[in-house]
Structure 1
């Protein structure tokens, strides 16, 4: 059954309006909704595990040898190490910023029980969810390396001033400041190249940390030690020699650029005691720690999940909405125009009369019946 003119006009208006609405939504979603999604998620709970590279030197100072009565300090070689970090999101966190807490341990897995624990650090920092940079609050974080008599960690306020656990959403091929929790300051981390890890595009960055005197960073008994020269294994017999602990590192990170997720990490750590930072005397720790395969795969899964969300709202959904909107707009316009054309008034046609020419007005009330047959004229005789 054909639609009436009024119904056609209504349907056409609905289609045009809906099409226009979808086109507007296709434009707004990438500019507004995507802006809300392009942030580091607040539900992060990440565990990363980095064992030592078996093909690189791995040395650890035997602490007991420093306090033994005889013999020089002993450094063990081919030590199996494992670094583990557990990262969570804590308060204060909201739509623009988030507080990350990372507990990190380094263990000698060849040692028994607690004797294998080489270091434990709890780091907190509040960052901008989009840029990954620390907020301007002072302090914007803390670092805990010591504990009280009850075993509770003692957090020292520390001002963080560089990237750390996340890169910016939309990472660029450039140099960024990157914060180191051992040196407690930032050093440049430089873009090296673009590569792939398990078919995922990543940016490779590298940071070189120069020899840093840790005794000037944190005043602890382990960062500055005085022992007889013989214990350090240098000439001087029982003459006390004070040495500081120095730290260097070459850090390599592979970052998924869309989300800023660190897919893989590697650190070539060297800590040593020395009278001069340029000349190590006794190695305290030397090892290359690299994310294991499970950690890399887990980080890839996190990155891809966030990439899918960005792609859905940034490209797929706008394209679909835009295409459907254009189709509805065109259908509505065509439907409306065709409906108007079918309602154009026709020309009034008058029937022919027998004498030629058009008949009288056939409209109602004119007194003319189109079904009447022409009458015959009758001639009457005169004088009747």
Structure 2
């Protein structure tokens, strides 16, 4: 009679199936999940604060007949980045409102610069897309202007490389390469350091603002010529440094050496408008590091931790199922084998017919007594 499947065989099949499922999952989870995690989140909302001390032109002094540049002015720059429409599975629109203020003055008198920048980027590469075209607004009473953005700004790509990237400057409204310098650490976090040099840029050729080209008496500018009108152009230069966590592309720290000045010649400042190093404050650095770590943890969880655990459990289940199945298949028959044979006859010279096959000799307790020949020859 064929052996019936028992609980051990069923359990073996379950374990083999479970092991195979876990091994497949270990392969598919990182393949499917990680690419979806390596995208700029659609709920992004980041505020960065930078501080510095430098020199600032007192704009009111131009009207009084003598340009005055205030020294050792404390400054604070604040940038608020939010997600706007259109945003979808592949692209995200970022809007960044940024102000630079001198913190020793209150209200409008302390505001030095303000802008609203809007750009739509690829959620993986962080590079701008062609449509819609980005915009920049620098005057609150005038609409934003369409400005094609051609480089990185607020975030680097996932898995950033040790190479140069195009980086867009809002003031210059153009991109220039930002170059990899070195791998280093900030508060125990590995980062890539990049540097960029911008300018000198003639701002009057970038934005049509009355303050970007100004004509005043030479004496007001503090140069020779007395009352002779002298036209000065506003120039812009910047040395930018960013430190990027490479796996997530988060900018952990940023620093700018900003220099705006009036001059008749590029690169030769005659009257400083703004000259200061502006750097992320410590709270911003810590916040950005935490943002990077959160992203790393998610990628590591689905890209390494879960697949490794699933793979180990899958191998264990598979081996256990195979061993249990092999063990369950080695059992013998339920009853001992029955044999047929002959019984001796009473005269010892022949064989008696075998007992019927349905008779169980193992349970027959009848004593077999051979016949005895009672007659004498």
Shift of residue 350, structure 1, vs aligned partner = 3.3
Distance 1:45 1:346 in 2: 76
Map of 1:226 onto structure 2: 215
Report the TM-score, using the length of structure 2 for normalisation: 0.92
Structure 1: gaps of 5 or more residues = none
Shift of residue 31, structure 1, vs aligned partner = 1.1
Query: C-alpha deviations, 1:208-235, integer Å up to 9, x for none?
Result: 1120001101010111111111111111
Structure 2: gaps of 5 or more residues = none
* 1:40 corresponds to 2:40: yes
Shift of residue 279, structure 1, vs aligned partner = 1.6
Shift of residue 324, structure 1, vs aligned partner = 0.4
Task: Kindly indicate whether the alpha-carbon contact (under 8 Å) linking 1:362 and 1:369 is maintained by their aligned counterparts in 2.
Answer: no
Map of 1:20 onto structure 2: 20
Shift of residue 371, structure 1, vs aligned partner = 3.3
Distance 1:30 1:344 in 2: 49
* 1:62 corresponds to 2:51: no
Task: Kindly indicate whether the alpha-carbon contact (under 8 Å) linking 1:354 and 1:374 is maintained by their aligned counterparts in 2.
Answer: no
Distance 1:117 1:287 in 2: 15
Task: Kindly indicate whether the alpha-carbon contact (under 8 Å) linking 2:130 and 2:148 is maintained by their aligned counterparts in 1.
Answer: no
Map of 1:239 onto structure 2: 228
Shift of residue 32, structure 1, vs aligned partner = 1.1
Report the TM-score, using the length of structure 1 for normalisation: 0.90
Task: Kindly indicate whether the alpha-carbon contact (under 8 Å) linking 2:46 and 2:80 is maintained by their aligned counterparts in 1.
Answer: yes
Task: Kindly indicate whether the alpha-carbon contact (under 8 Å) linking 1:177 and 1:186 is maintained by their aligned counterparts in 2.
Answer: yes
Do the aligned partners of residues 60 and 361 (structure 1) sit closer, same or farther apart at CA in structure 2, a change above 3 Å counting?
farther
Distance 1:362 1:99 in 2: 94
Task: Describe the SS at the equivalent of 2:225.
Answer: coil
Matches within 5 A, 1:57-136: 58-68=54-64, 70=65, 72-136=66-130
Shift of residue 346, structure 1, vs aligned partner = 7.7
Map of 2:373 onto structure 1: 379
Task: Kindly indicate whether the alpha-carbon contact (under 8 Å) linking 1:361 and 1:368 is maintained by their aligned counterparts in 2.
Answer: no
Distance 1:353 1:156 in 2: 114
Among 320, 323, 331, which residue is 2:320 paired with?
331
Q: How many residues align?
A: 369
Task: Kindly indicate whether the alpha-carbon contact (under 8 Å) linking 1:228 and 1:238 is maintained by their aligned counterparts in 2.
Answer: yes
Stretch moving more, 234-243 or 121-130: 234-243
Task: Describe the SS at the equivalent of 1:39.
Answer: coil
Distance 1:249 1:368 in 2: 105
* 1:198 corresponds to 2:187: yes
* 1:142 corresponds to 2:131: no
Query: C-alpha deviations, 1:337-366, integer Å up to 9, x for none?
Result: 111112468872538877599x94674268
Distance 2:217 2:325 in 1: 99
Matches within 5 A, 1:308-347: 308-343=297-332
Map of 2:202 onto structure 1: 213
Task: Kindly indicate whether the alpha-carbon contact (under 8 Å) linking 1:350 and 1:361 is maintained by their aligned counterparts in 2.
Answer: no
Distance 2:314 2:172 in 1: 56
Map of 2:9 onto structure 1: 9
Distance 1:362 1:37 in 2: 78
Query: C-alpha deviations, 1:228-254, integer Å up to 9, x for none?
Result: 111111111222111111000000101
Map of 1:186 onto structure 2: 175
Map of 1:165 onto structure 2: 154
Task: Kindly indicate whether the alpha-carbon contact (under 8 Å) linking 1:22 and 1:324 is maintained by their aligned counterparts in 2.
Answer: yes
Distance 2:163 2:333 in 1: 68
Task: Describe the SS at the equivalent of 1:348.
Answer: coil
Shift of residue 372, structure 1, vs aligned partner = 3.3
Distance 1:382 1:80 in 2: 145
Task: Kindly indicate whether the alpha-carbon contact (under 8 Å) linking 2:92 and 2:121 is maintained by their aligned counterparts in 1.
Answer: yes
* 1:266 corresponds to 2:238: no
Task: Describe the SS at the equivalent of 2:321.
Answer: helix
Map of 1:30 onto structure 2: 30
Task: Kindly indicate whether the alpha-carbon contact (under 8 Å) linking 1:73 and 1:232 is maintained by their aligned counterparts in 2.
Answer: yes
Distance 1:119 1:91 in 2: 26
